[in-house]
Structure 1
Amino acid sequence: MADAIHINRRVRENAENLSAALQGHMLKVFAPDARKELRLFGAGEAASLLGISPGFLRKLHFDNRIPDVHTTPGGRRHYSATDLMEIRRVLEASAKTPGTYLRGRRPGDKVQVLSFLNFKGGSGKTTSAIHTAQRLALKSYRVLCVDVDPQASLTTLFGYRPEYDFLHSGTIYDAIRYEDPLPFSEIVQKTYFTNIDLAPGGLLLQEFEHETPRALIANIQPPFFARMAAALQEVEADYDVIIFDCPPQLGYLTMAALCASTGVLITVIPNMLDIASMSQFLQMSSDLLDVVSDAGASMEFDFLRFLINRYEPNDGPQQQVVAFLRQLFADEVMVAPMLKSTAISDAGLTHQTIYEIDRTQFHRNTYDRAVHSLDLVNDEIESLLQDAWGR
């Protein structure tokens, strides 16, 4: 017993020391207020995001059709995400085809709800989810990120400290708990990233896994698989896309997210151990989905895709695995893989993404290669959303 108490005390000390160190790191990276800010975009980046040429962007300024933006002493213009939205509104007002520059929902379109998931940890779910959210936001979509993982990595990437900021309340758990749930709008946080709101995750979410068996016995309504969708109804009109970052386990939280989803993206690292793990995940998923479907859950998705993650094109075995998956699942494997990149992992050291960090922080070719890969993936996802809306 003495050894057990010693081990328990040591684990607690390690947890407290690590938490304090992470807090210090966050304060150092984002001093003085420990909150992130989105960088400005150069004229070339801005034009690319708007879908116009740099020359046309300059002409818009020359003709005084768009507001002034930050300009350096050397005459270079830099655009905030808010600037880009203002320009989009101006361009959309004179566009021949509706939705050319403001590409989100139109009257009659349902909100698109995407779940990023896999049974295996480290498959790139959070990285994929946040880059997709940011790319869509920069292209004018109103996005709600929902962190369904008790580890709250997505919440951390948005500059929050879950163990401090949401220690006692304010997470998804408070909106879907069985006793006195809060309105969903009360837990939604504005983020530093224009067009993205966040429903935070945190350790309290684990309570949902513990409480659900008792709730099933007590027949508390709505049941676990319907609680997420029911909670989201309050705010879904405010968004074009809702993105779930699911935990690396097939528990009640993941099932609740799936039952609220219109699309599913399963991240896959192309090696046989991960493929074997995914096989087990798919089998378990199908069995559990049958159970909740029989219980009354709606399980119709607009699309399901496998997203190849951390792909190394020059790796022969990986090429073979990808070819195997494409032969097996055909069009359900996304055309564009997400490449393995030191730029993505290095950006994560400062809790940033490729879309946030400045190009000058990396070797130009490394940065451009990572951005190009992410853009291809996320633009393919955007096409799936547009197809689901019948466009």
Structure 2
Amino acid sequence: MSRNTKAQIQLPLRAPQTRIDRLVGDHARALSERLLAHRAQLFPPDSRKELRRFASGEVADLLGVTDAYLRKLSLEGRGPQPETGPGGRRLYSSGNIMDLRRLLEQGAKAPGTYLPGRREGDPLQVICVVNFKGGSGKTTTAAHLAQKCALDGYRVLAIDLDPQASLSALHGVQPEFDLNDGGTLWDAIRHDDPLPLGDVIRRTYFTNLDLIPGNLELMEFEHETPRLLAAKDAAQAASPFFTRIADALATVESDYDLVVIDCPPQLGFLTMAALSAATAVLVTVHPQMLDVMSMCQFLLMTSELLGVVAGAGGNMDYDWLRYLVTRYEPGDGPQNQMVSFMRALFGDHVLNHTVLKSTAISDAGLTKQTLYEVEKGAFTRSTYERARESLDAVNGEIEALIQKAWGR
């Protein structure tokens, strides 16, 4: 090979390196801007997310009365007067539904027929919805449970303990824009100058449903707690990390019947503190082998870590623990086998009803809504009703467990 030929040979150039922190940051900012534009398109900047009106037939089902009886009340001028929609349909707001419950409770033969919440001496119910396997339907379950209980007359506080804040987004809160100055549970459970829990509670567009939103700031609890444990800080000794959520809830206990906590998808200090505050635990699981194997590891870790917490004085006494099968496809043979396996293994600890996999639930999520928020006419009637019946049955079973915990 000649000298000139050698001179012409060039080594391949190495591709320029990309700093991953900058690339991820660029992607995050681009996505955040697009999400903000999407929200502005769905809900104009000067407006707030509002709940639809409920048709009289749907309200009658919620109250356990007939549509004709609601019409009679309206004609007699008793209770809230419904709006008149297209075709003469009578429409009620969630506030109207609560007013009807108060009216009907006055003439009820048994107390609690229409207002099923706490009575004197009943403890606050705190339900933790947990799993650390993505796709188990944890947030979807928590949102539908909180909203259905609110519609059924319970005073509900929903807490988004997941830094990813999906439960917050479902209720019209976009963390990177709406929580620039704080406003999460972190503000009330931090060791340094915590705020009263009431200062971070937000009213929602659902009557009877309040929200404590979440964002990445919650990770500060995961960072601060081990530092305090390692340093044996005096404040930590006086107030262990696993009592922080329970102590905060105690300050607003009289305002609610039920607290629903959407836990983060990992077994960290936040989850352990939530489990220490809980009176009940709901574990969501998708009936696939990998998901069940993941749940097995979750249960093993939970048992070991909470055993340590219990030894340090943490409260581990629960009214109930249940496994909820989610995203279930009855026609799927392997899924049926897995459900049968779980029922044989855990018995009554598996809820009788399941949450079916449905395009109605997933499509509602595209517009940051639940199945209780979307208009029925947006879907094929059979698709909507099948999904709604599934969710109502699951939530009804959980409400029965709440009532049983109160001795009813």
TM norm structure 1: 0.98
Structure 2 Cα separation of the partners of residues 15 and 97 of structure 1? 54
Code of the residue aligned with 1:145 in structure 2: it is A
Q: CA deviation at 1:371?
A: 0.4
2:382 aligned partner: 365
Cα distance change, pair 5–224 in 1 and its aligned pair in 2 (3 A): farther
Structure 1 Cα separation of the partners of residues 384 and 400 of structure 2? 24
The number of residues matched between the two structures is 390
SS in 2 for 1:19: helix
Q: CA deviation at 1:164?
A: 1.4
* 1:149 maps to which of 153, 162, 165: 162
| Aligned-residue RMSD, C-alpha | 1.3
1:306 aligned partner: 323
Structure number with greater Rg is 2
Q: Structure 1 residue 228 and structure 2 residue 245: aligned? A: yes
2:5 aligned partner: none
Structure 1 Cα separation of the partners of residues 192 and 120 of structure 2? 35
Q: Residues 107-122 of structure 1: matches in 2 within 5 Å? A: 107-122=120-135
Code of the residue aligned with 2:169 in structure 1: it is T
Code of the residue aligned with 1:387 in structure 2: it is K
Q: CA deviation at 1:83?
A: 0.5
**Alpha-carbon displacement from aligned partner over 1:191-211 (angstroms, at most 9, x marks no partner):** 111111001111000011011
SS in 2 for 1:49: helix
Q: CA deviation at 1:34?
A: 5.0
* 1:137 maps to which of 150, 158, 163: 150
- 315-324 vs 26-35, which deviates more? 26-35
1:218 aligned partner: 233
SS in 1 for 2:88: coil
1:296 aligned partner: 313
Code of the residue aligned with 1:57 in structure 2: it is L
Q: Is the 8 A contact 2:74 2:82 kept in 1?
A: no
Which consecutive residues of structure 1, in runs of 5 or more, have no partner in the other structure? none
TM norm structure 2: 0.94
What percent of counterpart residues are identical?
57
Structure 2 Cα separation of the partners of residues 17 and 201 of structure 1? 21
SS in 2 for 1:273: helix
Q: CA deviation at 1:53?
A: 1.2
Structure 2 Cα separation of the partners of residues 251 and 7 of structure 1? 26
Cα distance change, pair 21–73 in 1 and its aligned pair in 2 (3 A): closer
Structure 1 Cα separation of the partners of residues 17 and 222 of structure 2? 26
Q: Is the 8 A contact 1:27 1:34 kept in 2?
A: no
Which consecutive residues of structure 2, in runs of 5 or more, have no partner in the other structure? 1-14
Structure 2 Cα separation of the partners of residues 194 and 72 of structure 1? 21
- 116-125 vs 248-257, which deviates more? 116-125
2:183 aligned partner: 170
Cα distance change, pair 73–9 in 1 and its aligned pair in 2 (3 A): closer
Q: Residues 177-216 of structure 1: matches in 2 within 5 Å? A: 177-216=190-229
Structure 2 Cα separation of the partners of residues 95 and 11 of structure 1? 59
Code of the residue aligned with 1:75 in structure 2: it is G
Q: Residues 1-391 of structure 1: matches in 2 within 5 Å? A: 6-33=19-46, 35-72=48-85, 74-216=87-229, 217-219=232-234, 220=236, 221-391=238-408
Structure 2 Cα separation of the partners of residues 106 and 136 of structure 1? 16
Code of the residue aligned with 2:23 in structure 1: it is R
Structure 2 Cα separation of the partners of residues 165 and 68 of structure 1? 35
- 66-75 vs 93-102, which deviates more? 66-75
Structure 2 Cα separation of the partners of residues 156 and 268 of structure 1? 22
Code of the residue aligned with 1:87 in structure 2: it is L
Q: Is the 8 A contact 1:259 1:297 kept in 2?
A: yes
